[in-house]
């Protein structure tokens, strides 16, 4: 468990601010964002747009974040909040006195060290809150659920974060200001610092993937972990804790491992693929690294599930991702290391499905089902992003194919508000945003000197190391959250 004042939050880029004066730090490299500027070595003030993968940086060139390209930008880290063990070490140094060799002057120093796991959250999910839909008025707030991947199984946590007081980026101040004006602005800046409350439960085993849903009044998290089990947790106590200091105090007294509402050990090994149904509350599908897929049906009472022991097993290798149809309650899609995408109907026999057997030239890592249109988005180890029209799926040919990332795709997701917009992240440490409705004639020469960018490419965001997962916030239009080895980014670009 952790107190909320131990969280690390950075506002609008580089100045890392820890709550309640925990300290400050940060790395300027973390400020490298999309639409970044590249400052040449020859000539002060000479700048140009830098596009990843087009031209490498030259000696003496540095990247500089263009804040005007963001409506909102924040960073946060949760690794330090894993601190829970204090070890005290005492060292005594004794020196003999010159006047009396048998007498010693001793100085003892005791140092207490707080041991921290520093574990990154490589999977997270957005919890819907009661603040309303389509919220754009600043400051913003959000709830997230995430799971850690620590060095040891005992050091992992399942956590709920409440981020609030999230203000937008501001234009840099111009001209000289009086001391009174500076003082007023300092107070205003203090009021605009982002805040975060964090409630953590110990979880034995690294968390591969976490997905959340609402079932009645319950906030449920489905967790795929390295111990080979899929577990369901009730997040109610954690959600209450991040909204109330009294509830947080009571929650922190429960120094024990999280107890699952329900767990399933029928998978033959661990996995990553998991998804809640958006049309049937509590219905779940999970897939493992041995190719098997199981469908979970919720039972009365909200604490148990019936799982069909006959797996959907037509894939020949690991199932990497799963997505329920947003409109058909019995249909879901899967992708696999076997380079295929399959569409299943749970009313049909487990071996009956539609399939694109060679959808990518290598492992397919992630898929996303469009909420409004019959489109499926996929990303693979080949760095390709492909859009599939499910009305023409039997043909096995995508309707769109994009190659912008220079490394495997790690996450994809359609925008829940604008059906033509999607985003992707890659192992090249880039988040890309796209709009399929944009045509070549709409953009012209968008970026001087760069001719080969796809016209549908809206934005490239950088500044994180080893980006693993991205999500749009369904209640905050245009707001995107990304998680990486280096922490979380919360941002909205001028493009979406």
Model confidence pLDDT, tens digit, residues 79-102: 544 443 333 334 444 444 454 444
Q: Which residue has the tokens 């020469």?
A: 445
Q: Which is higher by pLDDT, 436 or 90?
A: 436
Residue 434 lies in a domain: no
CB atoms within 10 A of CB 26: 16
pLDDT at 36: 39
CB 468 within 8 A of CB 484: yes
Q: Any bridge partners for residue 312, and if so which?
A: 293
User: Is residue 200 located within the same domain as residue 75?
Assistant: yes
Residue 475 lies in a domain: no
Q: Is the dihedral of CA 181, 184, 187, 192 positive or negative?
A: negative
Residue 12 lies in a domain: yes
Q: What is the DSSP letter of 420?
A: T
User: Is residue 209 located within the same domain as residue 242?
Assistant: yes
Q: Which is higher by pLDDT, 96 or 141?
A: 141
Residue 158 lies in a domain: yes
User: Is residue 228 located within the same domain as residue 108?
Assistant: no
User: Is residue 77 located within the same domain as residue 219?
Assistant: yes
User: Is residue 136 located within the same domain as residue 254?
Assistant: yes
Cα(308)–Cα(83) distance, integer angstroms: 40
Residue 21 lies in a domain: yes
Out of 244, 265, 286, a domain closes at 265
Q: What is the DSSP letter of 428?
A: T
3-state secondary structure (DSSP) of residue 394 = helix
Q: Is the dihedral of CA 147, 11, 35, 418 positive or negative?
A: positive
Out of 207, 230, 265, a domain closes at 265
Out of 265, 280, 298, a domain closes at 265
User: Is residue 204 located within the same domain as residue 222?
Assistant: yes
Closest CA to 364 of 390, 345, 382: 382
User: Is residue 163 located within the same domain as residue 198?
Assistant: yes
Cβ burial 77-116 (10 Å sphere, 16+ → b, else e): bbbbbbebeeeeeeeeeeeeeeeeeeeeeeeeeeeeeeee
Structure tokens at 34: 């999309």
pLDDT at residue 475 tops 80: yes
> Is the backbone peptide bond immediately before 261 cis, with ω within 30 degrees of 0?
no
Cα(288)–Cα(261) distance, integer angstroms: 21
User: Is residue 132 located within the same domain as residue 261?
Assistant: yes
pLDDT at 96: 47
Cα(18)–Cα(438) distance, integer angstroms: 41
- What is the arithmetic mean of pLDDT over 40-64? 72
Question: Which domain covers residue 225, as residue numbers?
Answer: 1-31+70-83+120-171+180-265
Is this structure's pTM higher than 0.75?
yes
Cα(105)–Cα(480) distance, integer angstroms: 61
Contacts of 25 (CB under 8 A, 6+ apart): 16
pLDDT at residue 315 tops 90: yes
Cα(125)–Cα(239) distance, integer angstroms: 14
Structure tokens at 199: 């409630």
Structure tokens at 435: 């709009």
User: Is residue 5 located within the same domain as residue 90?
Assistant: no
CB atoms within 10 A of CB 260: 17
Query: Is residue 203 classed exposed, middle or buried when 0-12, 13-18 and 19+ CB atoms within 10 A define those classes?
Result: buried
Main-chain dihedrals φ then ψ at residue 299, nearest 5 degrees: -110, 165
Q: Give CA 283 to chain center in angstroms.
A: 23
Number of structural domains in the chain: 2
pLDDT at residue 18 tops 70: no
pLDDT at residue 186 tops 90: no
Question: For the chain, first and last CA: distance in Å?
Answer: 37
Cα(279)–Cα(413) distance, integer angstroms: 18
Share of residues in the chain with pLDDT > 90 (%)? 66
User: Is residue 74 located within the same domain as residue 163?
Assistant: yes
- What is the arithmetic mean of pLDDT over 27-53? 53
Main-chain dihedrals φ then ψ at residue 441, nearest 5 degrees: -70, -15
- What is the arithmetic mean of pLDDT over 32-37? 40
User: Is residue 97 located within the same domain as residue 242?
Assistant: no
User: Is residue 157 located within the same domain as residue 241?
Assistant: yes
Residue 160 lies in a domain: yes
Q: What is the mean pLDDT of the chain?
A: 83
CB 248 within 8 A of CB 197: yes
Residue 356 lies in a domain: no
Residue 313 lies in a domain: no
Distances (CA, A) of 258 to 161, 218, 289, 476: 16, 16, 25, 30
Closest CA to 220 of 302, 331, 321, 330: 302
């Amino acid at each position: 468990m952790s107190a909320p004042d131990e969280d690390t939050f950075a506002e609008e880029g580089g100045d890392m601010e820890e709550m309640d004066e925990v300290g400050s730090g940060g790395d300027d490299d973390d400020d490298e964002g999309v639409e970044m500027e590249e400052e040449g070595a020859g000539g002060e003030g000479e700048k140009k747009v830098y596009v990843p993968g087009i031209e490498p940086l030259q000696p003496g060139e540095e990247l500089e974040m263009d804040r005007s390209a963001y409506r909102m930008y924040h960073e946060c880290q949760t690794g330090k909040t894993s601190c829970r063990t204090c070890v005290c070490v005492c060292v005594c140094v004794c020196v003999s006195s010159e006047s009396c060799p048998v007498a010693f002057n001793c100085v003892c120093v005791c140092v207490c060290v707080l041991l921290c796991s520093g574990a990154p959250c490589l999977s997270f999910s957005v919890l819907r809150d009661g603040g309303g839909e389509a919220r754009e008025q600043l400051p913003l707030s959000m709830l997230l659920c995430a799971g850690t991947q620590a060095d040891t199984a005992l050091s992992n946590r399942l956590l709920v974060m409440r981020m609030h007081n999230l203000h937008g980026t501001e234009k840099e101040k111009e001209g000289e200001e009086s001391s009174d004006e500076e003082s007023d602005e300092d107070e205003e800046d203090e009021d605009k610092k982002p805040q975060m409350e964090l409630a953590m439960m110990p979880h034995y085993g690294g968390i591969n993937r976490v997905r959340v849903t609402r079932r009645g009044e319950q906030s449920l998290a489905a967790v795929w972990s390295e111990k080979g089990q899929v577990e369901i947790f009730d997040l109610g106590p954690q959600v209450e804790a991040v909204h109330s200091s009294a509830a947080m105090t009571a929650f922190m007294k429960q120094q024990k491992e999280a107890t699952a509402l329900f767990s399933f050990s029928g998978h033959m090994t661990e996995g990553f693929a998991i998804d809640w149904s958006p049309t049937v509350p509590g219905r779940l599908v999970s897939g493992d690294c041995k190719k098997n897929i199981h469908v979970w049906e919720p039972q009365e009472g909200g604490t148990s599930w019936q799982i069909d022991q006959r797996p959907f097993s037509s894939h020949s290798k690991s199932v990497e991702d799963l997505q329920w149809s947003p409109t058909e309650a019995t249909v879901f899609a899967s992708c696999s290391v076997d380079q295929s995408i399959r569409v299943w109907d749970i009313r049909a026999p487990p071996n009956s499905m539609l399939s694109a057997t060679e959808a990518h030239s290598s492992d397919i890592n992630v898929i996303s089902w469009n909420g409004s249109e019959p489109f499926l988005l996929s990303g693979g180890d080949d760095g390709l992003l492909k859009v599939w029209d499910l009305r023409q799926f039997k043909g096995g040919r995508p309707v769109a194919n994009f190659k912008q990332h220079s490394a495997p795709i790690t996450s994809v997701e359609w925008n829940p508000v604008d059906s033509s917009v999607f985003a992707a992240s890659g192992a090249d440490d880039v988040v890309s945003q796209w709009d399929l409705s944009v045509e070549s004639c709409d953009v012209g020469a968008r970026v001087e000197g760069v001719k080969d960018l796809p016209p549908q490419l809206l934005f490239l965001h950088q500044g994180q190391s080893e980006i693993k997962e991205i999500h749009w916030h369904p209640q905050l239009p245009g707001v995107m959250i990304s998680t990486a080895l280096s922490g979380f980014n919360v941002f909205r670009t001028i493009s979406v």
